[in-house]
Each structure stands twice: as structure tokens, then as C-alpha cells.
Structure 1
Amino acid sequence: MKRNTRHLLLATLSSLSLAASPAFAQDAAPAATAAAAPAPLADSVPSQLPRIARPSHYDIAVAPDAKALTFTGRVAIDLDLFESSTVITMNALDLSFTGASIAKADGSDATPLTATVDAGAQTVTFTAPNTLAPGQYKLTTDYKGVINTQANGLFALDYPDKATGEPRRGLFTQFEAPDARRFVPSFDEPSYKATFTLTATVPADQLAVSNMPIAHEMPAANGMKMVHFGTSPKMSSYLLFFGVGDFERMAKKSESGAEVGIVAPKGSGEQARFALDSLGPLLTYYGDYFGQPYPLPKLDNIAGPGQSQFFGAMENWGAIFTFERILLDDPAITSEATRQAIYGVQAHETAHQWFGDLVTMAWWDDLWLNEGFASWMATKVTDHYHPEWQPLLTRVGGRERAMGLDAYKTTHPILQTIRTVEDTNQAFDAITYQKGEAVISMLEAYAGEDVWKGGLRRYMAAHKYGNSRTDDLWNAVEAAGAQGLTAIAHDFTGQPGIPLIRMTGSRCEGGASVITVTQGEFSRDRRDTIDAEGRRWQVPMLVRTIDGKEQRVVVRDGKALIRSDNCGATILNGGQLGYFRTLYTPQALDALRGTFANIQPIDQLGLLSDNFALAVAGYQPMGAALGLLAATPTDANPYVLSEAADRYAQLHTIFDGDAATQAAIAARGAAALRPALSRLGFDPKADEPALDAVLRADVIRTLGAMGDAAVLAEARRRFASLDSDPKALDGPAKALWLGIVATNASAADWDKLHRLAHASKSTVERSTLYTLLGSAKDDALAQRALALSLTNEPGQTTSAAIIGRVAGHHADAAVDFVDANQARVDKLIDASARVRFLAGLAMNSDDPAMIARLEKKAAALPADVRKPYERTIAVLKVQTESTPRIRAETRAWLAGK
């Protein structure tokens, strides 16, 4: 699953229905490896179900009523019962049962069952009148369920027709982590793998899609049809998918042999081309890398209108679901950054077809085996096919997002303890994704690329169609030749926190540097207890001198001595491949600052990130970081200039209410960024590098946020041009310019944006414009946006985004609003994200009273529900304590310049 990131072929393609394509007239699942004899789930694997039974196959038939938002279902479950019992318990949520029976596998001895639902436990227990002996059975039950309006279980998304603007409704499913039980009574845990056959009764003029191709379909009464999908390979329940609606499909055959397709609302047309042309090569690359060909006959990526507060895309095997805004390339509004995100998200979800789908973690404790590896592989494959995007540089930003959580005592290890549904929902965070990716990058560098790949191939071959634990992976990589890797991996995955490498000394002896380092821990809120706790990591380092010479060092037992044959500036985390902070001596940092322009871009990014984090946390003065920022060349790599732009924008925000200091920061920011804008101009140039387009947007956005008069005037000029030409802003910068207008909007501007949103026939543009209405700095307009969010006008999945945008400038007002309308707001948010929504809004508050307010809320909550509040409270406490020091040190540095 992707948490909310071109290989063009010239073949002429048509939009095809699943049933019309000969490639989809298939019923056989791919052959799996020889199965072991059925056995109860091992005690070593966590489970919330009794271990007396396990499924082997589900035969599901559903009939959704999209208008009534209900569905009926029947499922026949082949299962093994391992001990005598009168009851069989499985997962079910928001389902009611109208009948059930159980028979032996051959159909004999049918016996009625009584279904008892436990809503709190999210289970249904089927009780037989007499004891069932161990053996193989088929349990059949009829049931009814609800179609949700947020992305949980089977859900509906409403959107305007792209041609006529008439309302349309599509149905989709989202089951990760605990929501297949909303669609079918099931053993809804990852280790209970089974095969699935799905039949759906749907409107005859609509397109239905699932994990497997359509085997056949037949007419049904009242303008309906029955669509029978082929039997899936053995997989976890959360990977099942079903969708139906007024869709079209663009498809082609891939080099892997599988057909690839993009399923999207009718009228999408060529907007699907970019994603489609990228999809086939991804299958080729991953199949080769993992040594396992893609095993299904097709892979679709289904575009869903709307959005979620919990996720952006989901890796259902053979039927990825992705929200349209990060799948379809609409030239009227898609920016270059979004195009790259379209590729990155699809690369992430396609990687899951192996890491997550073919081999699945045994329990949610090992979720990072899915998400960290998919994130890492997505970056790797993007670098292979699109080196011009320089995707490896993005790993620094990902690492920083992880460290933003990992620096607080409320963090958790990569390997978590997951025991409740809410624990599972909260496991999808930057530790799982970005820290996972960073640690994998570090371990690959330690093992070497060939050894690492060899280990992954061993792992895939050993566990395909099955489940695994993290140590299975380490054992495979060590067996491939990476001796000592497991101990390092355990340090970084089994304990939380961030190692801090301190340079304690550096001297020049005979033309060579002798550097001593010690290992501690970086923290924002527990520095007083770090030494007592004494966490230790074995830390792999790539030490790089300014002339490019490198050596690998592993810090063991908390210290290391490093010798290099150069007395010049030295980078202790060369290539930023290590997951640690680096605190240099003042003299060593001065040397790096003096030659900053000559340092490789990825190390420039790492040095900026490390030194700002260390300064903000009080490990060194703010001047140390500000000096590096000032040393950033005006012609630096686009990623580095974008990072500099972000730093100026953050500094500017810290001084809200202090106009004089903001003016000084804005002047420095303009001096640093205007040369790039002068070179790039306000408008795209033909055939310009993709990163120039991204940098242009970042620079304009930052200058606009800091009140740059020229940028604000240009935004207003362009906004006014819409009065005479509604398409005047169409193009990759549309949302950028409208965002600047929205932030600084007058009442008249807000009304005009509101009219544009209401009139749009584009789901993505409509959602974007409605969300921008929440951006206004003006208090009264913020209140209007909040009120609008509780109406039906923006759409069920857009309203929460409006509230979230309001919190950017009006956090306290947004929290007040949610408090006053909690029940109504809950309906606007995925069940998986509800617990952390309000805590996320409060993160932007600068009122110390918010801390006590959140503490009072948290005190009344169960431990698993309390976690998001505890994280926000920790951040706000540190900010309250550190902001006065940061402001004072920044003012002093500015005055000295």
C-alpha cells in the first residue's frame, strides 16, 4: 500500500472491456509450489482467531445494490478442521447472516449452523448442533452487508461524468489491513492464505474487474449480468479486489507475457497512457530482479475518483487500486511532480506483487517486509528507467520523514508488536515505509548489490505463495554471502531510535586524517535518559573524502578510529546510505561549509538535513545549519535548491508575528532562489529537463509563501485571466498558481474559486479546488471552508481534506470544529484513519494550551487509540520548549550577517 510519489511505447491501443479481450477468457490460477499438508496456524504466529481451522478456498458470489448502498453475498469456504468442535469462528464486520450450513468435502452430511456475531471482536461464530470431527468441510453461508462511502470494505465513490458532468457511482474494495471481513466472512489474517473464486451480479452495461481475468459471463434478469472471474492463486484475504462501474480499460501485452491494463472512468482516454506504458516494463524488471516471473495472467491498475485520509494506492494481486489523482495524467492539471509520483506509486504497488503478494508477512508485526521493500524497490526501478529524475536523491527526504517520528520517545521499532485492529491501522507510518527503505539501502550497501540480490532471490524462491518473518530474509542474505548482516539488521529493526555519530576528534598526521568517532543516540525529548539507557547499534558507515575516495567502516562497541589518506574535508555518511545523524566538530563542519559547492548533491542534502535537525534539537547552535544554507550555491542541483527553498519557508513560518525577521528571511530566500527563477521563468519551456519543472514550482511556491511581490502579482494576473478564458491556467502549474491565490484569498477570490470547483467536470481538479478553499489565511474564509466541508457539495472523500487544509493556518479552529462535529466528521474519514485525524490537525497548533487539551482527551482512551495523541503531545511539548531558543539564535545569526 502506498501512503499518500516513462517508458513510452508507440503501439496503438484501444479501450477494451475485460470480457471482450481473449486474454481474459481464462479460468486457471497460476500453478503454486507443492503444498504442505494442512496444519493449524503455528503458535509462533500471532492470531486473533482460534487455531482449530484454516481455509483452502473461498467461492464467493456477491450482488451489490449501488443505489441502496447494500449488497448480498453467499460464500462456500473449503476448510480443514483440526480438532473436534461444535464451533468455527472467523472474522466478520457489519455483516448479517440469513443462513449457514456445513457439509463434508464431498457434499455429504449437510448440517445447519447458527451464526452468532460479536461486533466488538469483529467475528462470527458458526455453531453446529453436534460435534464436528476433524476433517475437511465446506461451510456455506448467506449474508448481507453495507457499501461504505469511505474506503473501507466495499465502498462507493461518486464523481461527475467526464463528458456530461452527470453524477456517476463506482464501487471498489479496500481490505488492508482488517477489512476483507466487511465483504465476506473469512479468516481475515495474512497467514490464512487460500485461493478465491468470485462471481458478481452487476449491471449489464458496466465493467467489472477483480484479481483474475473474467472466465465467463452470462445475462441475468432486470438488465444485469453474472460475471465469473478465474480462480486466484493462493493469497491472503486482504489482497482480494472487486470493482464495478462505468469504466473503460486500456490494455496491452507486456514482455512478461501478462496483459497489463489501466481501468478508469469512461472518458479518461489518453490520460491512462503514461501509466500503461510504464506498467509492462516494471513487470519485466521485477521478474528479473527477484528471479520469479510475474505469475498472474494480467495486472490491472484501477483508477478510483476521490481520495483517502489513510492511503493512496493498494497492491491487490493482479488488480492494483490507485486514486485517480496519482494514476491518470491529465494535461489540464497534472504537474511534473505529480507525473513522477504517478510513476513512483505504480512502481511501489507493482513491487508489492512480489514483496507482499507472492511472499507475505506472517503477521502485521512484519508489515515493513511489505512496505519498506516496496518503497526501496520503487526508488531502484525508477532510477533504472528514469535516471534523469535522479530518484536516489529522494531517499534523503524519506529518511528525514522517518527520523521526524523516530526522534521522539513515542516512536516504535521497525519490527512492531501488533495485537489489535487499531495497532494495525497505525502501523502504516514513516517508520514502516521510509525507515524501512533507509535501513534496506544501508544493508544493501553493506552486503554489496550482487550478494543482496542473490539473497532476495533465495528468499523469494523459498517462500513464494507462503508467509515469512523478517529473519527468513536475513538468513537468505547471509547465506548468499553477507556475513554479519543479521546482527546489524537486528540492531536497526529490533530497537527504535536514531544512532548519533559524533566526531570527537580529527587531526592530520603525515598528510592523512585520523578521525575518532563515538556512537550515541539522537533524540528530541529524551536526551537526559539516553546515556543511562545506552542503546547501541553496529553502524555501517561509508566515509568519503572531498576528493571522492571512500572506505567502509562499521562502528562497534560505541566507537571507531578512522584513517584516511587526505587531510581535507571528510563526510562520515557518504552517499547518505547510513541511518544515523552525524555531529561534526565545529572545525570539520567549517571545512565542509567552505567546500560545500563541490560536495555531491546527495551529501549536500544529507548535510543540510542533519545540521538543521541537530541545531533545532539543541545539539549545536542554529548558526551551524544556517551557515550551510547560506553556502548553498544558487546553481545547485534542483533537489538541493528545493531543499533550500523548504528551509527558508520553514524559517519564515517560525517567525509568524515577527514581520521584521520574516522580511529578513524572505530577503535571503529571494537572493538564494531568484537566480533559479530568472533562469527558469514562470512558464515551462519546450523539452526542458523534468527536474527544472519541479524546481520552478518549488521556488514559486516558496517565494509566494514568503510574500514575494512579483510572484503574488503574477498569481493574481493569471487568476484574473480566467474571467475571459476558463482554460487560461490549464497545464502543469494550474494548482500551483491557484494555491497561491487561495492562501491569500479575499472573499471575492474565495467565491470565484468556489464557483470553479463547483463547475468542474474533472474529479481531480474538482477535489483540488475544493481542498484549496481550506487554504485561506483569512479567519472568516477558514470558517466558511469548515462549514462547507459538512455539506454534500465537495464530495464524501474531499471534505476531510478541506478540514486538514484549514489546519495549516488555523489548527486550533480546525480542532474546535471537529470537536463540535465529531460524529459528522467521522463519517467523512476512513475508519482506519479516524483515530489519528484530530491529533494530526493539532500538530500545527502553536498554542501551549493545546497540549493540556490533548492530554485530557488521551487520558480517556484505550492504549492503542491513545498513540496518535501521545505523538502530537510529544512534538508540541518540544516545540514549545525549543522555539524561543531557535528564534533567538536565528535572530542573532541574521544580525551578525
Structure 2
Amino acid sequence: MTLFTDGSPDANPYRLPRDVLPSRYDIVIEPDIAEARFVGGVVISATVQAPVDSIMLNAADLECPRATLRQNGSSVDAEVTFDAETERMALRPADGRRLEPGELQISCTFAGELNDQLRGFYRSTFVDEDGEVHTIATTQFESTNARRAFPCFDEPDFKAVFGVTMTVPADLMAVSCSEVVSSEILADGRRRDTFADTMEMSTYLMAFIVGDLEATVPVDVGGVPLRIVHVRGRSALTGFGLEAGAFALAWLVDYYGIPYPGTKVDLIAVPDFAFGAMENMGAITFRETLLLADPDKATTAELLRIVDVVAHELAHMWFGNLVTMDWWNGIWLKEAFATFMQVATTDAFRPEWKRWDEFSIERGAAFDVDALSTTRPVEYEVVSPADAEGMYDVLTYEKGAAVVRMLEQYLGPDRFAAGVQHYLERHSYANTTTTDLWDALETSSGEPVRSVMDGWIFTRGYPIVSVEPYGAGLTLSQHRFVYGSAGPKSKPSGDASGSAKVAGPTAESTGGIWSVPVMVRARLTDGRTVTERLLLSDASAYIDLGGPVEWAIVNSGGHGYYRVRYSAELLTAVARQALEVLEPIERYGLVDDTYAAVVAGDASAADFIALVTDLGSETDLHVWQRMIWGLKGLHAIAEPAGREALAVLIRDLATTALGVLGFEPQPGEPDLERELRGVLFEAAGGRGRDELVRARARELFEEAVGNSAAVEPNLAAAVVQVTAAAGDETDYEQMLELYRSADTPQSELRYLQSLLLFEDRELFERTLELFASEVRTQNAPYLLGAAMTHLDHGPLAWAFIRDRWDELTDRFPQNSISRMVGGIRGLRTRELAAEVEAFFAEHEVPQGALTIAQHIEKMWVNVRLGEREGALIGQAAQSPDS
């Protein structure tokens, strides 16, 4: 990774000088929704730190016809010049005077377009129950898009107070970060709403929304009014979101020990939204599917996701809004912690959902990227706005949250929470760096947090801890876990039996030492069970457990951000007793680590299949999800005969488990059992192609279409998938109509995704066209990416994206392009992989260059996995115990 500057504002051409510091913005804005335009004015109160000849602000895609500067009672017009590359605007006194240290008032008028790129000040549309199209004007400013709505000092450490006045049509609702303090009807019939001042905050947290909206009656949460704002006609879908929001706000106030820093909370459902949600201070915006729901129709996973996202954004009100990173290289400071807090909050909201166990799945996505040679540290230098956009990935969110969770478990929850409170109290309304957080946690815990954590944050990758029995304990050793080199390798040669020869560890995999908080639980040969804690900070260490070991689980509790490789003796012992002696999260780790070893070439597909077969009596949802995803991954790379054999194994495992669980939901059944039934049903009828399950799916589908309450939601979602996988053109037309007429955001997305599962080529081509034209741009890129993972038609989807690249990248939000490209990981032939790599050598994605490199590397990893294991999977599936 090349670093372009020393990180200081003076050395970075994209950063503003520090000679003028803003303290207040008074913004007047008038959106013209019909003409997709807006005009406005801003007065910025600032302080000049040293004599200057000009002032530099940020502005992009704006017209600024007039600007004035006022100092010491004297005003002067300013000459305005723009630098499109750095998105900066210079104001120079027209009379050539120099601005002296002291107070300064900057006034600008401005105008711009309400764009369709889901950033800055943009348009969102919805269709009401009468078929009429309505347009909303809304904002998305993170990371560097406030400058597209008004001239400003658009960097996180330029904190200021914001006063907002909006002039809007009288029949529309206006929302901003604070409450309305005055409202008047103007002579032309429009309404002018003035909002209370905000707290001191960064520009990216500002928001204003106007449209045909309505709000729920506020819920009082410890004196803070909380409500949901939504498009007209969707009030029936707000109850669950309000319940989740009220719980999360109260729980977070208690955890942080600091009152909510704003005056109100609006949770705002926006029909078109490029992100999942955005923590604008007091005016949090969401995708509709992540806020509005009917609990009687939504799956457990869909409801959990709503609680997660609501909690995540509310956690930001303190960690991010009250205390803000100094610069965008510190995005992880707020996003990783908010991800950690969302899981903790959801776990408190519904303990029976076992949210920390499910986090293992999300951590696994970070593991997958972080095992690549093209991975990056959690924190690295950010120079340009494109660099900042590229940081919104699983390493910032999931890896960051995983190492925070590991630290919390190592320090203890109480000491960790005390450190967080100390950090927030000390730095309220200010900006911080990673060092400030470590200082606070060291003060609260007395532990050397910085020396432990810096390696996890500033070093790319993660370790694998190897475990061997030795004397009266274990020897542990660590080295970096990697999948292999980034580019194509020659196809592995085979021996006389056809087994692929796997190369040993790469040079890179033998390096890297972390301070690894290791939790060990072991059964000794004398029958005692012991637990120990060790900070593994060297390449290897011995841990005395007081006697010879029968079996051991390293990463006890499953919260460490590292993989584990057991000796053959220990692995056999622990796998044989896994269902009896391991917690579900530990069994998940065993399955996940084994599959990763297969991908890396350190284990065979047969090893994974044998482990899954041994765990066939598993009853935990999350372990089953990992087993099935692993089997599906092998199914995708298997040669045709092997694919069929593995389908039989998936069918047998899933139907046997369904027989134990029961095909029909029971009254009072735990939520996770209902979700497990859906997972098993989909596996049996999808990849398993079980005809009885497919027939039952069709019966249930017809029942659900006639009466949506007739089928339990988790099973109903699986029924849609199975019916689509076995469906014909008539089924396709019905699914398409159900998508277009869906009465909840979750149902709309469910039917839309089902169109990807049809096997007929012509129907698949119709789906690609639908995604490129009709589907909202917030969803289409992700769906096109998923299309490339289709077992039979992935190459067709790639050709579609390749041939229409310019059209698609012009239409879709820029931050979604790298996510669309993620689907190339599902392309499985060497020829296609070479074509894809050559294509992206000529087609740059500035906001996701590093992410694209990661996708390309993982594509090659999967190609090599198929070449190594594809011909062997059938034999392994037929003889899983061999």
C-alpha cells in the first residue's frame, strides 16, 4: 500500500487549511421538487487564525452566484473560483484586502440540482396506493457530500452549530436535525419552517428532508421524543421499529452513562437510500426495509436486522456524533464501535436470538477478506474523498467490531464499559484519534491496551493459532493465515490417484505476530475441566494446564479474532465430542475454521464433509447455517457428478434434521427454531432438490398467496425460494407481480430476490434487464452482483455487466459499484477469471480500487479451489467418513 502524504492537512491537497475555523452555519434552503432544483443561502460565522488573502471551503456540483465577507463591520464582495478535482471553492476579497485574525462572517448564495445519485441533496420517489408518483428531497452527506448541498468546511474536525430554515410547499413535511421552533405561511402559499440550533457537530451529520411524509405520535424515552417518519400510508408498519428504537435509546443511555446529546430522535424511512442507514444527528435516515415491518409477516432475520440497524445508528449519537474521529482514516472508531454496540443492544433486546453467536457469521465475512494478500489494516491513511468511500467495508465494520469484542471479553465487560464512558466524557463535542480510545481503556483497566490492540488495527491480516499437546499442557504457536497469492497460479498437478498436491504455506503466511488474547478450556485425562487465559504475544508459548490433555478448545467462548488449527490427535478428540462438550458458538468456529482450511489448501473437501456429517445431529441454527453454506460452496465448484452426489448429501442431512425439528411450526416455538426450519427447508428443496419438499413448497406457496398469515414467515420465505428454484414461466410471472404489489418492504425484496433463482435462461435474462431498468438503484447493483453467483448463469450475468458497464455505472450510486463487482467471486473458470482481471485493469473504480482487487483475488482463490477439489467432491460426498 502506497501512502501519498504524511496525513497532515498541509500535505494533503484534498484537505482545507486551518487558518479559518467555522463555529456556526445559518442555512436557508428552498427545494423545488418539481424542477429537481434547489436554491439557498448560508452565513458561516468563523474565526480567522492568521492573516489570509483568501478563504478555502468545500463545494461540489454547486453554483455560487454571490459571496460576501464581513469583518470588523465592513463587507466586501468575494471573487469565487472552483477546483473541481479537489472539490474546493476559494473566496478572495474583490478589493484585494487581507483578512486579519478575528471574527469573520462568510455569506454565500448557492443553487444546485436534486440529483439521482443518492448523495448530497437528492431525489427519492414512491408510488402511493392510488398509483400516483411522489418525490421526496432528502440528503446523504457522509462522507464528503454536504459540499454538494451548501458551501461548507466539509471535514469532520470542523465542528459547528447549525441553524436551518426551509421554505417548502405548505402541504409537505420538512424534517431536520432539531425540532421546528417556528412555522409560517408565506404570501406565495409556501411554508417557512425554522429549526432549533443543533449541538456542535460535523457537517456530515447534517440533514434535511422534505416530502409527502407523516410521522407517528412521539414516544417519550427518558424525556426524549422519538418517532418514525415515513411516506404517507405506511403507518401500520411502524410499531416494531418504534419498539426497537425506544428500547435501544434507553439501553444506550444506561450503557454510556451520558444523556442523549440531542433534543429529539426522528427515525426516517426513505424509499431510495444508498446505504443501510445514516446517523444524522436527530434525523436518522434508513432504507424502508430496515425500519418498517409487519412482525406477523417478517422473518426473524428481517426483524433482527431492523433492531440491529436502529441500534447501530442510535449508538452513533454518542460514538461518532458526540465524539468524532479527527479524520476519515479513523472511520473505524465510530463504525466498529457502533457495530459492536448494535450486537450488544440486540442481544439485550431479545436474548433468545443469541445475537453474539450470530455475529460469528459476520465476523466470518471479515475473516474471508482479511485472509487475502490484498487486505488492508483497519486503519490506514485516507487522502481523497474516494479513499474515504473505500473504507466502508467489512474490515471497518465487522473486523473492527470483532477485535473490539475480543478486547471487551479479555478486559471484562465492566472495565471495558468504564473505559468507554471515560472516553466519551473526556472528549465530548471534540475529535479524537485511535490513541485516545486506548488511553481511556488503559486508564479504566490497568491493562496495556495499546500494545495489544495496535497490531490488530494497524496490521493487516490475522493469525492462526496452532495447538499441540505437550506434557502437562499445550504448546501454542501463531502465524498469519492467508489463502495464497493474488493472481492466477498454474493448475495443481495430481498424483496417480488423482489427488491434488497442495503447496505448503506461502512466505507471507509464516510472518506476523499479534498479541492474541487466548481463552482455553480443556478436559484433562484425569477427568478435570480447566480454563486458562493467555496473552500470546510471541511466535509460540507453552501453557501449563496441570496435566495431560484429552481434548481442548482454544478460543473458548468463540470471541477471538483468530483461527485455530488443532493437531490431528486433538482435532479427532474434540470433533468426536463436539455436540456434548462445545458451546454452539465454539462448534461454529470449528466448522468455520475447517472450511477456511479447505479454501487455503490446508485441508481437503473430504475433511469438511466428514466433519459436517459427524455434526448431523446438530440443533443450533448458526452452526447449521455455516455447515450448509460450506456445503453449498463446495457444491458450486464440484464437477457435475460430484455436484449431484453432494446434492444428495445436502438433501439427506437437511431432511433428517427437518424430521427431528418437525416440518410444521408449533405454538410457542422459539424464534431460532422457526428460522432453522426455514434454513433446512430451503437447503433440502433448493440445492438438495428434494421432490417432496418442492411439492410441499408449492402447496404452501399457494396458501400464502391466498392468505399471507397462513404460513409462518420464516417458512414462507423459504417456500418462495424453493418454489422459484423449481419454477417455470408461470411461477416467474406470479413472483414478478408479487414483487410489484408487495405490501411490506421485506416482501418486496423477498420476491425480487427470488427472480434470481429461476433456472430457465430466458427468464434469467429478463431478470437482468429488470435489474438494469426498473429496480431501484439502491438495490439493483447488489442484485446484479448476486446474479453472477448463479450456478448455471453466472457467466451470463458477468457478460451483461461487462457489455453495459458504462450505462450501469452512470446510473448506479458510486458507492455501490464495488459491491456489484463482488459477484465475480462466484465465477469459477480460469478463462473467465482472466477475462475479468483484464477488464478491471482497464476500467477503474476510484471509490473501491482496493475492494475490487480483493474481489479479483478471492475469485482466483475460488478458481484454484475448484481446480484442486472439484473432481474429488463426489467421492467425498458418497463416502463422508473415509
Q: TM-score, normalised by structure 1?
A: 0.89
Is the 8 Å Cα contact of residues 60 and 148 (structure 2) preserved in structure 1? yes
Return the offset for 1:762.
Answer: 4.8
1:313 deviates by 0.9
Moved more, 671-680 or 686-695: 671-680
Please list, as runs of the form range in 1=range in 2, the aligned pairs for 1:576-725 lying within 5 A after superposition: 576-598=558-580, 599-655=582-638, 657-658=639-640, 660-706=641-687, 707-720=689-702
1:416 paired residue number: 380
* Match status 1:59 vs 2:26: yes
Match of 1:506 among 463, 469, 480: 469
1:24 maps to what in 2?
Answer: none
> Which AA in structure 2 matches 1:506?
P
Following TM superposition, by how much is the alpha carbon of 1:814 offset from its aligned partner in structure 2, in angstroms?
Answer: 2.4
- The aligned residue for residue 236 of structure 2 is 270
Q: Are residues 718 and 284 of structure 1, via their aligned partners in 2, closer, same or farther at CA, if it must alter by over 3 Å?
A: closer
Quote the Cα distance in structure 1 between the aligned partners of 2:237 and 2:593: 40
CA–CA separation in structure 1 for the residues paired with 2:441 and 2:705: 62
In 1: Cα distance, 2:443 partner to 2:12 partner: 24
Tell me, what secondary structure is at the counterpart of 1:542?
A: strand
Shift of 1:451: 1.6
Tell me which residue corresponds to 2:306. Answer: 342
CA contact (8 A) 2:628 2:683 kept: yes
Deviation at 1:561, TM superposition (A): 0.4
Shift in Å, 1:253 = 4.0
529-538 or 260-269: bigger deviation: 529-538
Q: Deviations over 1:819-858 (max 9, x none)?
A: 3323331243212223x14532322212322333333334
Quick one: distance in 2 between partners of 1:227 and 1:696?
51
Q: Select which of 392, 396, 405 maps to 2:360.
A: 396
Equivalence for 1:78: 45
Of residues 181, 192, 195 in structure 1, which corresponds to 2:158? 192
Counterpart of 2:4? none
Q: Are 1:870 and 2:853 an aligned pair?
A: yes
Summarize deviations over 1:67-100 as a string: whole Å, max 9, x none: 2211111111111122222321111111111211
C-alpha offsets along residues 751-794 of structure 1, whole Å, 9 cap, x if unaligned? 22223333446555445434433433322112112223343x43
Paired residues of 2:644 and 2:874 also in contact (CA < 8 A): no
Decide which of 733, 747, 757 is 2:739's aligned counterpart: 757
Q: Which residue is equivalent to 2:427? A: 463
User: Are the structure 2 counterparts of residues 497 and 228 from structure 1 closer, same or farther at C-alpha, using a change threshold of 3 Å?
Assistant: same
Residue matched to 2:477: 518
User: Displacement, 1:285?
Assistant: 1.9
Query: Would you say the 8 A contact 1:307–1:323 is kept in 2?
Result: yes
Residue of structure 1 aligned with 2:351, choices 364, 387, 396: 387
Bigger shift: 586-595 or 631-640?
631-640
Which deviations, in whole Å up to 9, do the C-alpha atoms of 1:182-219 show, x marking residues without a partner?
11111111111111111111121222111111111111
Q: 1:740 to 1:65 in 2, by over 3 A?
A: farther
1:300 is paired with a residue whose SS is strand
- Select 1:218's aligned residue among 181, 184, 187: 184
Contact 1:103 1:137 in 2 (8 A): yes
Equivalent in 536, 555, 559 of residue 555 of structure 1: 536
Do the aligned partners of residues 757 and 381 (structure 1) sit closer, same or farther apart at CA in structure 2, a change above 3 Å counting?
Answer: closer
Report what 1:23 is aligned to. Answer: none
The answer on 1:239 being equivalent to 2:205 is yes
Decide whether aligned partners of structure 1 residues 871 and 798 sit closer, same or farther in structure 2, where only a CA change above 3 A counts: closer
Shift of 1:138: 1.0
Aligned to 1:442: 406
- Select between 420-429 and 669-678 the one with higher mean Cα deviation: 669-678
Q: 1:745: how far off?
A: 3.1
Match of 1:748 among 717, 730, 752: 730
Aligned to 1:113, what secondary structure does the other structure show? strand
Question: Is contact 1:521–1:530 with CA below 8 Å preserved after alignment?
Answer: no
- Contact 2:609–2:631 (CA under 8 A) maintained in structure 1: no
Which segment drifts farther, 113-122 or 801-810?
A: 801-810
Q: Which amino acid aligns with 1:590?
A: T
Per the alignment, residue 88 of structure 1 pairs with 55
1:786 to 768, 772, 786: 768
Which of residues 115, 129, 136 is equivalent to 1:170?
Answer: 136
Describe the superposition over 1:5-47 as per-residue Cα deviations: whole angstroms up to 9, x where unpaired: xxxxxxxxxxxxxxxxxxxxxxxxxxxxxxxxxxxx9769996
Aligned to 1:3: none
Report the CA distance between 1:278 and its aligned residue: 2.1
Say whether the 8 Å CA contact 2:465–2:477 is kept in structure 1.
Answer: yes
In structure 2, relative to structure 1, the CA distance for the partners of 1:797 and 1:284 (3 Å cut) is closer
Partners of 2:579 and 2:224 in 1: how far apart?
47
Letter matched to residue 140 of structure 1: S
Q: What CA distance in whole angstroms lies between the structure 2 residues aligned with 1:672 and 1:65?
A: 59
Summarize the Cα distance change of 1:672–1:851 in structure 2 as closer, same or farther, 3 Å threshold: closer
Question: What secondary structure is seen at the aligned counterpart in 2 of 1:79?
Answer: strand
Deviation of the 1:176 alpha carbon: 1.0
Q: Distance in 2 between matches of 1:231 and 1:737?
A: 51
1:50 and 2:17 matched? yes
State the alpha-carbon separation in 1 of the partners of residues 437 and 429 from structure 2.
15
* Aligned residues of 1:719 and 1:738 also touching (Cα < 8 A): yes
Give the distance between the partners of 1:726 and 1:442, measured in 2 at CA: 42
- Assess if the C-alpha contact under 8 Å between 1:597 and 1:636 holds in 2: no
Which secondary structure state, in structure 2, belongs to the residue aligned with residue 517 of structure 1? Answer: strand
Partners of 1:631 and 1:765 lie apart in 2 by 36
Matched letter for residue 423 of structure 1 = D
- Structure 2 match to 1:256: 222
- Work out the CA distance in 2 between the residues paired with 1:278 and 1:534: 45
Q: Hey, what's the Cα distance between the residues in 2 that align with 1:767 and 1:491?
A: 40
Distance change >3 Å, CA 837–CA 384, structure 1 → 2: closer
Match of 1:68 among 23, 35, 59: 35
TM-score (norm 2): 0.91
Shift of 1:892: 4.2
| Mapping 1:730-741, distance limit 5 Å | 731=713, 733-741=715-723
1:286-320 CA distance string (max 9 Å, x none)? 22222211121211111112453xx2111111111
Among 281, 296, 318, the residue aligned to 2:262:
296
Residue aligned with 1:446, SS: helix
Q: Is residue 852 of structure 1 aligned with residue 834 of structure 2? A: yes
Identify which range, 228-237 or 549-558, moves more after superposition. Answer: 549-558
Going from structure 1 to structure 2, the CA distance change for 1:866 and 1:640 (only over 3 Å counts) comes to: closer
Q: Is the CA contact (8 Å cut-off) linking 2:135 and 2:211 kept in structure 1?
A: yes
Paired residues of 1:803 and 1:814 also in contact (CA < 8 A): yes
1:530-569 equivalences in 2 (<5 Å): 530=507, 534-546=511-523, 549-565=530-546, 567-569=549-551
1:886 Cα deviation from its structure 2 partner:
2.4
Tell me: CA distance 1:870–1:42, structure 2 relative to 1, closer, same or farther (3 Å). Answer: closer
Residues 884/802 of structure 1: CA separation in 2 closer, same or farther (3 Å cut)? closer
**Is the contact between residue 92 and residue 181 of structure 1 (CA under 8 Å) also seen in structure 2?**
yes
Aligned ranges 1:146-161 → 2 under 5 Å: 146-161=113-128
1:116-159: CA deviations, max 9, x gaps?
22222112212212222222111111111111223211122212
Q: Is the 1:193–1:234 Cα contact (8 Å) retained in structure 2?
A: yes
Name structure 1 gaps, 5 residues minimum: 1-40
Rate the CA distance shift 1:636–1:724 in 2: closer, same or farther, 3 A. closer
Q: 1:264 to 1:872 in 2, by over 3 A?
A: same
Counterpart AA for 2:798: V
* One-letter amino acid of the structure 2 residue matched with residue 83 of structure 1: A
State how far apart, in whole Å, the 2-side matches of 1:272 and 1:302 are: 11
Question: What SS class does the counterpart of residue 231 from structure 1 fall into?
Answer: coil
2:386 touches 2:846 (CA, 8 Å); kept in 1? no
Provide the rounded CA distance (Å) in 1 between the counterparts of 2:85 and 2:695. Answer: 56
Q: 1:120 aligns with which of 75, 85, 93?
A: 85
**Counterpart in the other structure of 2:553:** 571
Tell me how far apart the structure 1 counterparts of residues 670 and 757 of structure 2 sit (CA, whole Å). Answer: 30
Distance verdict in 2 for CA 1:160–1:765, change over 3 Å: farther
Cα deviation for residue 333 of structure 1 reads 4.2
